[in-house]
Structure 1
């Protein structure tokens, strides 16, 4: 049986990520592993930002990061406020990067034993055009990945 000491739960705060919460909570509770929450801000990695003045970009990055930190704190409080009483620790970080690459880097940095993430359940042309962070993580991860599909219909 695999022994889990550190779990990485990557979230984009979407419905798919929310559905993965219960799996992350249960695994952390059953194993006593530390649960590390990660949110990667991917919008800022776009090449088009070169056309925007540096001071505007810096202000934008600070604001986006501040909001993401607030969102992460709210996410942690909403879903993991009782973690200590359930016997596991929760830590978190917000980074700016390219999604799957930063998830894998974070997993390596914290020596995660398992990555947990929700998926959007995209199919067909939408998947081809938008891509899938979860799929890339699964394909390139040297450690096991638990994906939880969002089966709720989208508008």
Structure 2
């Protein structure tokens, strides 16, 4: 029987992430597992970065990171405030990088037994143009992935 001791919950703070948070909370409660939340700030491509002065990029990154940390705190307070009472531990982290690569890296770093994440449910040309972080995580993960459709 599968045993979940550490769950990684990847969030972008969207409606889909809110629905996935319910599943992550339920699993963490049932398994008494550690729940590690991660939010990935997608970095600017080198091409876009070269067009801006370094100090502008650095200021922008600091601002985005500050807001992401505030959003993470609010998200944790909203969805996981009762973690200690429910018998599970919550940790969180905001990282900068490629969405799916950072999620997989975090899963390995924290020793996740399961990745939980929301999906936007894009189809057709929108999926081709925008891509799907969830799909890439599912294809490349070495542990099971639970996706919750928005």
TM-score by length of 1: 0.95
Kindly tell me the number of residue pairs found equivalent between the two proteins: 149
Provide the secondary structure at the position in 2 that maps to 1:45: coil
Consecutive unaligned residues of structure 1, counting only runs of 5 or more, are: 151-155
The residue that corresponds to 1:13 in the other structure is 13
After the TM superposition, which parts of structure 1 deviate over 3 Å for at least 4 consecutive aligned residues? Answer: none
Consecutive unaligned residues of structure 2, counting only runs of 5 or more, are: none
Q: CA RMSD of the aligned region, Å?
A: 0.6
Provide the secondary structure at the position in 2 that maps to 1:136: helix
What is the deviation of 1:49?
1.5
Q: Does the Cα contact within 8 Å between 1:45 and 1:98 map onto a contact in 2?
A: no
TM-score by length of 2: 0.98
What is the deviation of 1:45?
3.0
Q: Does the Cα contact within 8 Å between 1:5 and 1:33 map onto a contact in 2?
A: yes
For residues 79 and 27 of structure 1, the distance between their equivalents in structure 2, rounded to whole angstroms, comes to 13
The residue that corresponds to 1:57 in the other structure is 57
The residue that corresponds to 1:128 in the other structure is 128
Q: Does the Cα contact within 8 Å between 1:45 and 1:96 map onto a contact in 2?
A: no
The residue that corresponds to 1:39 in the other structure is 39
The residue that corresponds to 2:93 in the other structure is 93
The residue that corresponds to 1:153 in the other structure is none
